[in-house]
Structure 1
């Protein structure tokens, strides 16, 4: 076949993926998969045997954060001027899960002490059901750096052997019916028997750790989600080994969240109360001074009654003075607020609400106080470095500037209105000029007294309103659905675990086989070869495990002999013209079985009673002389170099068959390449073509020397021998390049030393074996090749034991 026909496709062109071939490649290692799955399932069973059931406990909580969810008490607070703060649900969730709230829960339920009982391979949580109780001071617990570990082993029906470990120090004690004081390191605590719980036979393990560790865990473990978009109902959930413990935790979380929320709401009321009390004391002194001044004035002027002169003007003047009083009151309130806001100590203190009539200014104060409450809540669950706190601080600063600007604006408006009233008042005063001066002075004093008196009464009213506001503070969160377990255990998921184990059991050997095949640089058989090259494979030769280099014998029905017959028949079909007789046999490197194949192929042709000659043209490392025990040192190199002129005298009988002759290589020449280009070599083959039916030439490896390329001109067929599980895949890339460059023409591959006994080979052939009834158990060694029969390697193969790996 022409090289153009052989490489009709581009070198390296991908061939269709044979999925059945891939499947069989894995099925041949079915024992690996079975063993891996058994091990994986065993590990899964062991893991499940150690795991406790995990349940999810959930509770529904209503967050009263807007008017739609407000109670009548909250609406009453708003009617008294104490506007409610509309909570941000996400912020409330973070506050509810804050470490401060969780720490109070941990301390209340004593979750820093964990009681477990070893039962088989599992550990059972003994929350509120422990036969041993531990009492330790809360201050000591909060200062723990290292955990306390206590291992109690039943000693008798009433006693325990106790081993206490803390900070590398160990103590062994005995716990009886009496309390057991324990001093270890710098801490002390007491252990007592709980006689309400029956003493179990299993070991008890008690662990005491810093409460902040458990608080941190709970903060992350509790999940809070809104029931639906826009809903104010939260669903709190917690995964747990002990349902009772989880129920208590969720109940206490809601309780302490409400405690914190109500305390925060009362901060504004407390601050307002403090401010009002200070102003009442001050106004009380001022009112007393004015009343004393009026009393002294009356005594000094001996006044018992006020004349009714200028009644008309006095009435108008009274109305004007009333308005001036109201303005003075508003200005005083604005001044009080100005003094409070200007005080740097009150930067993050809510501004008291005193009833300033300006609606815009009152709304600004209310918004400022709401922002302070939001900041206070977030600081309980985060630090000042939080970007959200920084944004709120910036907003508070802007609002504070707005308040200061509002004070200026309100004061300016009040002063303008005051000037107008004062001008009108002066006109009225001129109209009542006839009124005695004493009466006017007394009226002025009485007016000041009235202003102070009304301001005093106003502050008393506000104090009562503020006290009422504190008593009306209600919880923000209320439990709608009490904590309860939802369904069965969520972990461990046994079907999922066994499924994962099964997948892993399949994946591990599959990955191993994949990596083994990916990093394997050698091919195994004909199908591997056909995937790597477009050069036709003429046949396969089984491993030779007989130790004999001549396996082809008359009347032999051995499988390896049948494989040689298949190759012979294929060659006879191709060499169907009288002038086609020369078969060159080569390989890439030594030890691939080139000489072994040449000798047995020649014997196979000789069995058909055809005249065959085996020519040794591997003149650098001749092997035929050794295998056929040829005594003469003369050969074809002697003829090519001119030392011998009688070609017939150099041809010797093989001694194996009367139809097989040999033309050995002869002495190794100093210039082998030049001898092979000699025209006398062409004359030799012309003579041999006349005398023989088939000429088989044992040539040099093409991957080592170029001699074979020089012999390509003489060959009708080039047989390229590769050895399974020995030859590298890259050798086939070299062959592709030789054929593409037409340095080798009419080339066919022989896959030598194929392990026909391998399971993978049987699967690859899909049940069709070789031998045609001659048996399926082949025991042929691959111990042959370039330079000898490989007997050492054969002995190594015999010593190898069967192994999955």
Structure 2
């Protein structure tokens, strides 16, 4: 019989493996009130969110960035105007510049976006493009906080202010102190109608508003093949959103032009300084020439002197250019040697066509401009500023080395030219000394004149280039708002609420199932033990322990009849009469099962004895209302007591009797091992058809194993949602080690109708049906 039940259990396991999805679905269906409540709450939240959230519109614009080198000017001489117009621009760099807090802060200050006006329309607070009044900050605090002011018109001159529940009346243009903001006043806008509904004025700091707008701003490259940047802004008011994007583009172009003009201004300042110095030197040389002629009465040079001048003219020209380069490089070397100097360099200093040097200067200037911008929002101790200072210092060192190297080359060239001129001059032995001296003065004057004329030319070119400066970007698609709001979208919100309402209880149910350590289903049992299940007892809806006696046609009574039938396969021989009941721990229904199993056997005309052998915590006699003053413990210590002295009949059925535990002994285990125990069991077998031993839980103490030798079949009680899954290893160990023979499981207190495969007992007239409130409460439990 046991083998057949094992085969049946294996077939059940194979069948259950294919219906895991069905089991999970049944778990969800059992808790349908959870889903109804969750979906209802989530849909209500979705409704509230949709009706209370103002619509958000997407504003888009496109700008074209010139991604290449743009140069102007002649490109020769000391100053090259290409540096003034900037070198190759990286589109990625321009995207990052557009995202800077500096530009957005300028936009917020220009449009006064940190003061937001709104009014309730239906259930929503809608931001206004223009309000019939303005809240002007006359003198703000150093750190402006958050403030919310409700403004209501009282008459043409007075408005009512509600600030954090405090109400006050003020006149238009009347200054008053606003907590957290500073001194402010309300200014009337006569072009708009001031209706009676309250207006809400929200004030935050410029930095916080800039941070909010940056979070709503999206900037991306259209594709990698073009240098077109697309700007997007999510904003509740379409017109104001377009204004914000327009202002951002305007500030970006303005900042770009300011950077270029700063470089041009630096170049102009440098040239003016050199012009002033050269003009003074040229004046001194011209005065020396004039005085020399007057002093020596020299009107013209001899033909031989003129020939010498013509022969040395080429050398003088080269020497003049070389002296010019040396002079400017000396000035630049002096500038770069001072580490505290943070001015922008002329970006187009000609180093004989050295592109690397020109690029380095442009990068050096860009870092200085970037540093000046960052200092508007951070201090010089900021890690970012210190990093920039390190980069600037490194570039300064590279530039200084290049300047020194170039200057050294020009000095060598100048010395060679001077040697060549001296060689030519030495050949003219017959030139009078006066003419030689005059030649030196004339040569020096020519050098100064050419340098002065060159600087004047470059000064004009720089001025012209500044007026010709244009931004590297231009708007090709002005800001435009999509007609439909991007959020909130009703269908998406309600679908999201529906799915969230379904997912939350599903997740909770699955999580509870994963975290549940107690036995809930047959699968939990069969995953641990192969011991056959020979009985299933459903949940007792009443407090009555005598279900079989008082409700013989109830579903639970039928389940005990099924258990009686299964036991007949175990107890085939007439001498097999002893049934042992045990469990993993107390409270799993051993006494309840013993009473009703004994009663169902007695109804079949069998003489049944209940033995209360839990000598540590007896409960059987108390449930039956039987006195426990004389029982098993008395029999083991008093040899004068006979079997008939401890056996008492029960009123529930004439065929059922009980031996109570008697007074609690100090040594329960030794009491069960009494030498009178075997004779007692043999005597009882002669008198009764069935003996049901209610033993202590084997998972706690070993008393039940002491009684296993007398048992013909052992019923191991497992209570749904009480017995722990880990405790099933006890019964499996007993089964594998053969410590208890003919062991079978009885599942008690089954409250989940999806626990197994159903009982097939139907509804009986005597079964007490729970009310609707209990059913719903049970489903939420």
The TM tier, using the shorter chain, reads 0.7 to 0.9
Matched, 1:39 2:35: no
Residue of structure 2 in register with 1:789 after alignment: none
- Aligned-partner Cα distance in 1 for 2:320–2:332: 18
- Aligned-partner Cα distance in 1 for 2:62–2:514: 57
- Aligned-partner Cα distance in 1 for 2:142–2:688: 105
Matched, 1:145 2:165: no
Cα 1:355/1:54, change in 2 over 3 Å: closer
Structure 2 counterpart of 1:494, from 481, 490, 505: 490
Matched, 1:328 2:320: yes
Cα 1:772/1:232, change in 2 over 3 Å: closer
Structure 2 counterpart of 1:604, from 577, 600, 604: 600
Residue of structure 2 in register with 1:582 after alignment: 578
Shift of 1:581: 2.6
Shift of 1:41: 0.9
- Aligned-partner Cα distance in 2 for 1:126–1:220: 21
Is the CA contact 2:257–2:469 (under 8 Å) kept in the aligned structure 1?
Answer: yes
- Aligned-partner Cα distance in 2 for 1:291–1:619: 133
Shift of 1:316: 5.2
Structure 2 counterpart of 1:771, from 754, 761, 765: 761
Q: Secondary structure at the match of 1:573?
A: helix
Alignment of 1:512-531 (within 5 A): 512-514=508-510, 516-517=512-513, 522-523=518-519, 529-530=525-526
Residue of structure 2 in register with 1:715 after alignment: 711
Is the CA contact 1:550–1:600 (under 8 Å) kept in the aligned structure 2?
Answer: yes
Cα 1:172/1:445, change in 2 over 3 Å: same
Greater Cα shift, 215-224 or 106-115: 215-224
Matched, 1:182 2:184: no
Is the CA contact 1:3–1:745 (under 8 Å) kept in the aligned structure 2?
Answer: no
- Aligned-partner Cα distance in 1 for 2:691–2:592: 16
Is the CA contact 1:98–1:380 (under 8 Å) kept in the aligned structure 2?
Answer: no
Cα 1:282/1:398, change in 2 over 3 Å: closer
Shift of 1:652: 5.6
Q: Secondary structure at the match of 1:602?
A: helix
Alignment of 1:537-548 (within 5 A): 537-544=533-540
- Aligned-partner Cα distance in 2 for 1:531–1:777: 33
- Aligned-partner Cα distance in 1 for 2:508–2:349: 82
Structure 2 counterpart of 1:564, from 560, 563, 578: 560
Matched, 1:225 2:220: yes
Structure 2 runs not aligned, ≥5 long = none
- Aligned-partner Cα distance in 2 for 1:353–1:726: 84
Shift of 1:632: 11
Shift of 1:566: 1.0
Residue of structure 1 in register with 2:397 after alignment: 397
Matched, 1:211 2:220: no
Shift of 1:244: 1.7
Alignment of 1:462-477 (within 5 A): 462-477=458-473
Shift of 1:477: 1.5
Shift of 1:502: 2.3
Q: Secondary structure at the match of 2:548?
A: coil
Is the CA contact 2:521–2:755 (under 8 Å) kept in the aligned structure 1?
Answer: no
Structure 2 counterpart of 1:88, from 87, 90, 99: 90
Note the alpha carbon deviations across 1:489-524, whole angstroms, 9 max, x for none: 222233333333223322333444445555655545
Q: Secondary structure at the match of 2:58?
A: strand
Cα 1:172/1:606, change in 2 over 3 Å: closer
Residue of structure 1 in register with 2:412 after alignment: 412
Cα 1:481/1:725, change in 2 over 3 Å: closer
Structure 2 counterpart of 1:739, from 735, 738, 749: 735
Is the CA contact 2:608–2:656 (under 8 Å) kept in the aligned structure 1?
Answer: yes
Is the CA contact 2:316–2:443 (under 8 Å) kept in the aligned structure 1?
Answer: no
Cα 1:7/1:615, change in 2 over 3 Å: farther
Shift of 1:197: 1.9
Alignment of 1:478-489 (within 5 A): 478-486=474-482, 488-489=484-485
Cα 1:54/1:503, change in 2 over 3 Å: same
Note the alpha carbon deviations across 1:27-76, whole angstroms, 9 max, x for none: 21211211111111111111121211112212211222413xx4xxx444
TM-score by length of 2: 0.84
Cα 1:667/1:279, change in 2 over 3 Å: closer
TM-score by length of 1: 0.82
- Aligned-partner Cα distance in 1 for 2:527–2:192: 75
Greater Cα shift, 415-424 or 183-192: 183-192
Q: Secondary structure at the match of 1:552?
A: helix
Alignment of 1:437-476 (within 5 A): 437-476=433-472
- Aligned-partner Cα distance in 2 for 1:193–1:554: 88
Q: Secondary structure at the match of 2:226?
A: coil
Q: Secondary structure at the match of 2:374?
A: coil
Cα 1:489/1:350, change in 2 over 3 Å: same
- Aligned-partner Cα distance in 2 for 1:696–1:477: 97
Cα 1:350/1:408, change in 2 over 3 Å: farther
Is the CA contact 2:62–2:476 (under 8 Å) kept in the aligned structure 1?
Answer: yes
Shift of 1:397: 2.0
- Aligned-partner Cα distance in 2 for 1:481–1:54: 21
Q: Secondary structure at the match of 1:709?
A: helix
Q: Secondary structure at the match of 2:63?
A: strand
Greater Cα shift, 460-469 or 31-40: 460-469
Structure 2 counterpart of 1:262, from 257, 261, 265: 257
Residue of structure 2 in register with 1:133 after alignment: 134
Cα 1:406/1:4, change in 2 over 3 Å: farther
- Aligned-partner Cα distance in 2 for 1:596–1:712: 20
Is the CA contact 2:119–2:126 (under 8 Å) kept in the aligned structure 1?
Answer: yes
Residue of structure 2 in register with 1:785 after alignment: none
Shift of 1:779: 5.8
Alignment of 1:38-187 (within 5 A): 38-67=40-69, 70=70, 74-76=71-73, 81-83=80-82, 84-127=86-129, 129-137=130-138, 140-141=139-140, 143=142, 145-147=144-146, 149-155=148-154, 158=156, 161-163=159-161, 165=163, 172-175=168-171, 179-184=172-177, 187=182
How many residues matched? Answer: 757
Is the CA contact 1:286–1:452 (under 8 Å) kept in the aligned structure 2?
Answer: yes
Cα 1:272/1:319, change in 2 over 3 Å: farther
Shift of 1:539: 1.1
- Aligned-partner Cα distance in 2 for 1:649–1:291: 151
Greater Cα shift, 711-720 or 521-530: 521-530
- Aligned-partner Cα distance in 2 for 1:193–1:700: 89
- Aligned-partner Cα distance in 2 for 1:89–1:629: 93
Q: Secondary structure at the match of 1:199?
A: coil
Q: Secondary structure at the match of 1:483?
A: strand
Residue of structure 1 in register with 2:374 after alignment: 382
Matched, 1:195 2:190: yes
Note the alpha carbon deviations across 1:67-122, whole angstroms, 9 max, x for none: 3xx4xxx4447578212422333333333443443333233223233221222332
- Aligned-partner Cα distance in 2 for 1:144–1:659: 93
- Aligned-partner Cα distance in 2 for 1:353–1:620: 100
Residue of structure 2 in register with 1:783 after alignment: none
- Aligned-partner Cα distance in 1 for 2:687–2:349: 134
- Aligned-partner Cα distance in 1 for 2:578–2:609: 10
Is the CA contact 1:7–1:534 (under 8 Å) kept in the aligned structure 2?
Answer: no
